[in-house]
A and B are shown apart, each in its own frame.
Chain A
Amino acid sequence: MTFSEILVQLRGVYPELVLSILICAVIGLDMLVPLRLSRVACGLLSLAGTSLALLFAFVEPGRPGMEALTFGAAVTHDRIAAFFRILLLLGASASFLFLLRSDETVGYRQGEYCALILGAVLGACFLVSSDNLVLFVVGLETLSLCSYVLAGFLKHERLSAEASLKYVIYGGVASGVMLFGLSYFYGLTGTLSIEACARALLALDAGGPSMRLAAAMILLLILAGVGFKIAMVPFHFWCPDIYQGAPTPVTAFLAVVSKGAGFGALLRLLSPFFAASTPALTTFDVPVLFGCLAVVTMTFGNLVAIRQGDVKRLLAYSSIAHAGYLLLGFTVAAPVALEAILFYLFVYLFMTFGAFWVVVVLVNRLGSSSIDAFRGTAAKAPFLFAALFVCLISLTGIPPTAGFAGKFMLFKLVVGAGIDQMAAGARPLAAFYFFLALAGVLNSAISLYYYMRIARAMVFDKSEGETPMGEDFFDRAGAAVFALPTLALLYFTPVLDLIRWTAR
């Protein structure tokens, strides 16, 4: 590839290009401003730049000739990539709002914080739009490396440093396991193309007993790496400690952007397995495997969340449970399934950010994220409480929120698959699908209990002594930015159009 050819190819990755330039710009800016202005200056520059990247991500996919700009089949411009880019950049922009509001990182230079968030999003963007396993792994590692440092950003606090160290060790092992699987894959098939990945695995599967075992093993090893990112049981052990120890804006970032990127990677690698025309692997059925993982993940997350006393830890288990709900979408082979997954991810972004926004403000004022510290705060910050309440009932899946619509789509999908299997005469499989839907509904009922524990503490419990609680304009504005879409996303047609366009 000559230099001029590379310049032409760069036109295909404008959002990523903007992010890369922004990383350098924000570090440069941080050298010029005094420490007390560091947060505002770097935060605003990053927010503006990320918004520009988001604009490109919206406009670019429709441009003619984009299909040719692939850097020699290294990146792809398909619809899933376009959708996830928008989702991730939206998440990144929101993360900078969090940075501007949270007082937890004050006292440190914020240029590095912004650069690391931007680096993580850049890695995530390439992760979801790569068509080559080398780029896939480099993107994943960039996302991970930045997340490790972000988790330990408050380097003088024990919990934060501990979170970072745990994250590095778990993450390193998960990456290693996945790379081990990928090296088998490359050794046996001789291809690094992600597009050919599923086909190559199926060809391996048809090649005799030992190859069949290899195909199953490769799939499971890759799943370990991606399962770590989305906090799927049994790769979830890192999640509660890191969510609790990391600064709250970072926790929100990990819960939404890192998890969203993980789901993007999963869809990218395995989506052919969910097409109706793809034959099943002989060793196990991929949709059934995902069904079992989904039930275990959501049940574990919800049951353990009940006993948590710290809101960030509780939201960590809740985010494990939500990974379980999302995995339900992977059990059905149809475009509708993709639509349900993408819609749920979009809703998840707003309701999770909304809940974390209120936690950020409460932690600013109270200095603690335990449920006990939140007692009696509803009366002093009614608007924030209302926003949190909306997000919590949306996380539970109660109408009229968008969370209800998201869960309804997922459960309807699974029930529909069950009815189809019943009509086709496959009774055990039909029963399995009905069981999945039932497990989902029961789990939502369990989650209502622990989400309402937070709300109850804020409204009914009396606080001991004076709580320094209140709310100002920016607290309210931010809460509204996340809570209003949580209420009304269902009726917002551009988003629905985008999702239908992606899933078609």
Chain B
Amino acid sequence: MTVIFYLSAIIAVAATFLAITRTNAVHALLYLAVSLLAVAMVLFTLGAPFAAALEIVIYAGAIVVLFVFVVMMLNQGTATIRRERAYLTPSMWIVPGLLTLVLFAELVCVVAWVPEAAGAPAEAIGPKAVGMALFGPYAIAVEMASLLLLAGLIGAFHLGRRDEE
């Protein structure tokens, strides 16, 4: 488990580094997705499978898709479509693919035979425990987070709306 933890952590740091040094937004997003998957793996090895699942569903899933949408909306026209094809050349996929392959191998290892091995966390925190914590000691923080989102929504609404008159 410890080896897998450090391996995922290294992948996360490397992928994030590559993400912020790419000059091309689509390439950066590809590495960002890898980085988020690696973080999910880290969470899994730490005994937080629920948080790992959320990391994949929300961050690697929804948020990266949103980013891609924005990139697509900013680049329109036939010239950019041709350029976009050039973004994702096969050679572009090699490094992210390799990193993801390592993560996948880790996942197979963990699911297949590691849970009983030495060094595994004492207990995994499941969805029920997370829910109990959210509506117990963290109830007010959860409510406050919802108001934070509301404030974000109001701000986005103001900046995005068309002017009257």
Binding site for B on A (CB under 8 A): 1, 6, 9, 13, 20, 23, 27, 35, 71-75, 107-109, 112-113, 115-116, 119-120, 122-123, 126, 132, 134-135, 138-139, 141-142, 145-146, 148-149, 152-153, 155
**B147 engages A20 (CB within 8 Å):** yes
B135 an interface residue at 8 Å Cβ cutoff? yes
- Interface core residue of A107, A112, A120 (most chain B CB under 10 Å): A112
By DSSP majority rule, is chain B's interface helix, strand, loop, or mixed?
helix
Q: Which residues of the other chain, B, contact A6 by a CB distance below 8 angstroms?
A: 139
- Interface core residue of B140, B141, B147, B154 (most chain A CB under 10 Å): B140
Number of interface residues of B (CB under 8 A): 22
**B150 engages A119 (CB within 8 Å):** yes
At the interface with chain A, which of B4-12, B23-31, B69-77, B156-164? Answer: B156-164
Which 3 residue pairs of A and B lie closest in terms of their CB atoms, listed nearest first? A149-B155, A119-B151, A72-B137
**B140 engages A142 (CB within 8 Å):** no
Complex CA–CA separation, A146 to B147 (angstroms): 11
Complex CA–CA separation, A113 to B137 (angstroms): 32
B165 an interface residue at 8 Å Cβ cutoff? yes
Closest chain-B Cβ to A284's Cβ sits at a distance in Å of 30
B136 an interface residue at 8 Å Cβ cutoff? yes
**B154 engages A112 (CB within 8 Å):** yes
Indicate which residue in A123, A132, A134, A152 contacts B159 across the interface (CB closer than 8 Å): A152
**B154 engages A119 (CB within 8 Å):** yes
Once A35-B164, A123-B148 are accepted as A-B contacts, the answer to whether A132 and B141 lie under 8 Å apart by CB is yes
Chain B residue nearest to A20 (CB atoms) is B147
B120 an interface residue at 8 Å Cβ cutoff? no
Q: Which residues of the other chain, A, contact B138 by a CB distance below 8 angstroms?
A: 74, 132, 134
Complex CA–CA separation, A300 to B160 (angstroms): 38
B58 an interface residue at 8 Å Cβ cutoff? no
**B151 engages A142 (CB within 8 Å):** yes
Indicate which residue in B145, B147, B158, B164 contacts A122 across the interface (CB closer than 8 Å): B147
Complex CA–CA separation, A152 to B159 (angstroms): 8
0/1 interface trace, chain B 121-135, chain A, CB 8 Å (1 if under):
000000000000001
Once A20-B147, A141-B148, A142-B151 are accepted as A-B contacts, the answer to whether A75 and B158 lie under 8 Å apart by CB is no
Chain B residue nearest to A111 (CB atoms) is B154
Complex CA–CA separation, A415 to B21 (angstroms): 52
B152 an interface residue at 8 Å Cβ cutoff? yes
Closest chain-B Cβ to A130's Cβ sits at a distance in Å of 9
